[in-house]
């Protein structure tokens, strides 16, 4: 009803809905999987009627727009706020945020020492609200994004009145810098002062908001954790633990123990990575300078924590140093993950393997100290509203026709009903038609954006995600070169028997991640040669799609036959695009890593192409590379020699990609997994040639994907970590 009104109204105005929809920008708010997970969670929270808020920063310049020029990534700013009809500025909702200054101690009438954080500078946080409507419910939640601006205190006025216009404008600009740019690193931390400022600005404004709302309830402080649960999405907001302790202690006058009880019962911490370069640490002098009172509280938290550890484990001399929140380096560093664990009542990983790994590796000592019950798993999920219904409307419609309506969009286990139709000829025909139509749509996009003509009936092989050595796009492109060399060596008759393939890549490299940028350059350089080789024709095409984002994902994912989730075992915490691809009727080639393992458990091992070494073997292999002899796989060596011959252009450009494997210990096990990868890709070709079998695998897999709804995931957080229940809401009429 509403949709048809909308279409008619637009037509009257002379517009097509497709053109209007294209005007909408992606929110440039996040960095790959972490931010997208938060978006799926917001959708589920609202759709399940949980009263929840999302908090973040309103970046003026969010994640950059990627252009590919001469095969290289070029970053350009994305002016996403220039047209954003979804936000509501709330100039009535502001918070003054303090930085720098000093701490003065005084004694109150009861002889208690009271800390006063004084001086420094004030920056104003202004709320911008983005409504998050639930699906098929009247519930709408709120995503509150903070924007920074100069505090309009007397200070500014004085400057202004004194005619110091320049300096008062400079103050304004300096304040606005805080929410100006999103740091584009994915799984890498660099201890920049401005980033720490962003983190504190964000959590201080959000906590002020949360505390203000709690105080309106007039409930006693000890009931705070019953009304409020705060989930730390990775360690980036961990200063919130310290800030809440400061509010309770310094501003509300609670005793340390009472305050700390409230804090730890309020927070939960989700770990998203075991990569050492991604674990956040902030230098003590930096925190001392920016947040002097917070540093004192961090030291006190650490003191009480270490005292309790020492009492319980008096013999274990090294334990204290290992678990300390402060790393005794030069300069000293605050380990944010340790602070998050100590300050939370639950810690979770995001897939079973990952949750097991954190308990046995990086957080092992904390399991000894707190016991195993503090550590739990909540396997990630994705929202079926966006990743099935919106991205793949025809498939959604087909499923709806067989499952008896749209219930599967709110209860994804309903998908299992389509397994009954796996042998139904008409159903299978429609299924195949939909996939082909989605591939035709992507083929058009490829032509328009990369200028490459691809055959929609070829096998579409897709790897789209942030470019990172641990995700191993280099393994993929080396495999593509191997395929090219194999085809070149064949007679024309032999070639005719081969399965045509289109290798599709997409993803942004962090601007400072030189190696990731070399990978992008190699992919484009290989494409240039392969796509113009007349011996090869449609047997192999290599495409890099620029500026991968959510809107592009909605076009790419439904068109995939096989997608690549090939991280070095033990490095990808969960992955969520693996779930998106299978839900859209594509199969996976992948390692035994992250959620791939649970996807296999759910859909069956006949429906996934697993390869490579296991997480438990990685350490030994790395050790052998460094201290034993390191033999490079023969086929991979042939690939290296071809690159070094200059077949794909300047050999100098790609030398580092080769020497990482050959000379620098092959940390990501590219050579160890290469043979297994190539063999498994051959199995994929064979399987795809049998289209009937292939479609059976696809339908069966989709039918068994119910577990990976973010609704299941959010219900697990609600029950196991937040202790909250959904509100009872009347279902919307006609939904």
Interacting residues toward ligand PLP by CB under 6 A:
32-33, 36, 465, 548-550, 553, 575-577, 580
Nearer to ligand PLP, 465 or 521 (CB): 465
DSSP per-residue codes, 350-400: SSHHHHHHHHHTTTHHHHHHH-GGGEEE----B-HIIIIIIT-HHHHHHHH
Count of beta carbons in the 10 Å neighbourhood of residue 310:
13
The DSSP output letter for 111 is S
In angstroms, give the least distance from the CB of 585 to ligand PLP: 17
Report how far apart the first and last C-alpha atoms of the chain are (Å, whole number): 11
Smallest distance, Å, CB 660 to ligand PLP?
A: 21
Tokens representing 431? 């299924």
DSSP annotation of 585 = T
> Closest distance between ligand PLP and the C-beta of residue 471, in Å?
7
Q: Which is nearer to ligand PLP, 233 or 549 (CB)?
A: 549
Residue with tokens 């956040």: 280
Q: Which is nearer to ligand PLP, 32 or 585 (CB)?
A: 32
SS3 40: helix
**Alpha-carbon distance 556 to 465, whole Å?**
12
For residue 358, what are its two tokens?
A: 């954190």
Helix (H, G, I), strand (E, B) or coil at 664: coil
Smaller CB separation from ligand PLP, 40 or 301: 40
| Closer by beta carbon to ligand PLP, 350 or else 670 | 350
Token pair 């996009």 is found at 445
- Which stretch of DSSP H or E encloses residue 11? helix 2-13
375-377 β-sheet, strand order? 230-233, 267-270, 346-349, 375-377
User: Residue 435 and residue 638: Cα distance in Å, rounded?
Assistant: 36
Query: Which CB sits closer to ligand PLP, 55 or 548?
Result: 548
Residues 544 and 467: their CA atoms lie apart, in Å, by: 12
Q: Cα–Cα distances in Å, from 453 out to 66, 541, 592?
A: 22, 9, 34
Q: Report the SS3 class of residue 570.
A: coil
Cα–Cα distances (Å) from 230 to 54, 55, 63, 86, 254, in that order, read: 10, 10, 25, 25, 20
> Which helix or strand (DSSP H or E) is residue 349 part of?
strand 346-349
Cα angle 581, 586, 592 (rounded to 5 degrees) comes to 70
The answer to whether residues 355 and 376 touch, using CB atoms and an 8 Å cutoff, is yes
DSSP-assigned letter for residue 489: T
Q: How far is the CB of 580 from ligand PLP (least distance, A)?
A: 6
Which of 232, 553 has the CB closer to ligand PLP?
A: 553
Closer by beta carbon to ligand PLP, 333 or else 595: 595
Query: What's the closest the beta carbon of residue 268 comes to ligand PLP, in angstroms?
Result: 22
CB of 337 to ligand PLP, least distance (A): 21
Active-site residue numbers? 272, 465-466, 471, 576, 580
């Amino acid at each position: 009803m509403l949709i048809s009104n909308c279409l008619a109204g637009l037509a009257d105005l002379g517009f097509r809905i497709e053109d209007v929809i294209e005007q909408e920008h992606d929110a440039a708010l996040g960095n790959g999987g972490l931010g997208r997970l938060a978006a799926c969670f917001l959708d589920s929270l609202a759709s399940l009627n949980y009263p929840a808020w999302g908090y973040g920063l309103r970046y003026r310049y969010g994640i950059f727009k990627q252009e590919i020029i001469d095969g290289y990534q070029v970053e350009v700013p994305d002016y996403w706020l220039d047209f954003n009809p979804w936000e509501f500025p709330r100039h009535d909702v502001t918070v003054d945020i303090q930085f720098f200054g000093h701490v003065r101690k005084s004694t109150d009438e009861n002889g208690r020492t009271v800390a006063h954080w004084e001086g420094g500078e004030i920056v104003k946080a202004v709320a911008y609200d983005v409504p998050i409507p639930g699906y098929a419910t009247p519930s709408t939640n709120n995503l509150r994004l903070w924007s920074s601006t100069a505090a309009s205190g007397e200070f500014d006025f004085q400057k202004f009145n004194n005619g110091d216009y320049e300096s008062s404008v400079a103050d304004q600009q300096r304040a606005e810098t805080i929410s100006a740019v999103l740091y584009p690193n994915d799984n890498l931390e660099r201890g920049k002062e401005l980033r720490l400022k962003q983190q504190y600005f964000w959590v201080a404004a959000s906590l002020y908001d949360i505390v203000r709302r709690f105080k309106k309830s007039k409930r006693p402080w000890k009931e705070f954790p019953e009304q409020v649960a705060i989930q730390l999405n990775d360690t980036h907001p961990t200063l919130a633990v310290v800030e809440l302790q400061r509010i309770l202690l310094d501003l509300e006058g609670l005793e340390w123990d009472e305050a700390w009880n409230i804090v730890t019962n309020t927070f939960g911490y989700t770990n998203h990575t075991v990569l050492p370069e991604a674990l956040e640490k902030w230098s003590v002098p930096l925190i001392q300078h920016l947040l002097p009172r917070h540093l004192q509280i961090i030291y006190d938290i650490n003191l009480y924590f270490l005292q309790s550890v020492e009492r319980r484990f008096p013999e274990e001399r090294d334990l204290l140093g290992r678990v300390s929140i402060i790393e005794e380096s030069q300069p000293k560093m605050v380990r944010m993950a340790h602070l998050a664990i100590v300050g939370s009542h639950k810690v979770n990983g995001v897939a079973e393997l990952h949750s097991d790994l954190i308990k046995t590796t990086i957080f092992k000592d904390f399991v000894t100290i707190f016991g195993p019950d503090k550590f739990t798993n909540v396997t990630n999920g994705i929202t079926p509203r966006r990743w099935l219904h919106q991205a793949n409307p025809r498939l959604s419609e087909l499923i709806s026709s067989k499952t008896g309506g749209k219930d599967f969009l709110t209860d994804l286990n309903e998908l299992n009903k389509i397994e009954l139709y796996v042998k139904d000829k008409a159903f299978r025909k429609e299924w195949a038609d939909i996939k082909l139509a989605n591939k035709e749509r992507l083929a058009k996009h490829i032509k328009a954006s990369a200028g490459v003509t691809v055959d929609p009936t070829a096998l579409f092989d897709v790897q789209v995600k942030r470019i990172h050595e641990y995700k191993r796009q280099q393994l993929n492109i080396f495999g593509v070169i191997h395929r090219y060399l194999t085809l070149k060596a064949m007679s024309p008759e032999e070639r005719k028997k081969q399965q045509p393939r289109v290798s599709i890549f997409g993803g942004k490299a962090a601007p400072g991640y030189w190696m990731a940028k070399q990978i992008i350059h190699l992919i484009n350089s290989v494409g240039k040669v392969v796509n113009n080789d007349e011996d090869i024709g449609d047997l192999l095409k290599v495409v890099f799609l620029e500026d991968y984002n959510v809107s592009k994902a909605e076009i790419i994912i439904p068109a995939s036959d096989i997608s690549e989730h090939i991280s070095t075992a033990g490095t990808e915490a969960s992955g969520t695009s693996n779930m998106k691809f299978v839900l859209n009727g594509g199969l996976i080639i992948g390692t035994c890593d992250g959620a791939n393992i649970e996807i296999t458990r759910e859909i069956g091992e006949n429906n996934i192409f697993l390869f490579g070494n296991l997480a438990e073997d990685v350490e030994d292999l790395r050790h052998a590379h460094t201290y034993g002899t390191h033999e490079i796989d023969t086929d991979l060596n042939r690939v290296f020699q071809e690159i070094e011959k200059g077949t794909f252009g300047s050999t100098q450009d790609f030398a580092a990609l080769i020497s990482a494997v050959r000379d620098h210990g092959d940390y990501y096990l590219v050579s160890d997994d290469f043979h297994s990868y190539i063999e498994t890709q051959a199995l994929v070709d064979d399987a795809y040639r049998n289209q009937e079998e292939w479609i059976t695998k696809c339908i069966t897999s989709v039918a068994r994907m119910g577990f990976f709804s973010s609704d299941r995931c959010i219900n697990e957080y609600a029950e196991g970590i937040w202790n909250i229940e959904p509100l009872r809401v009347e279902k919307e009429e006609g939904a």
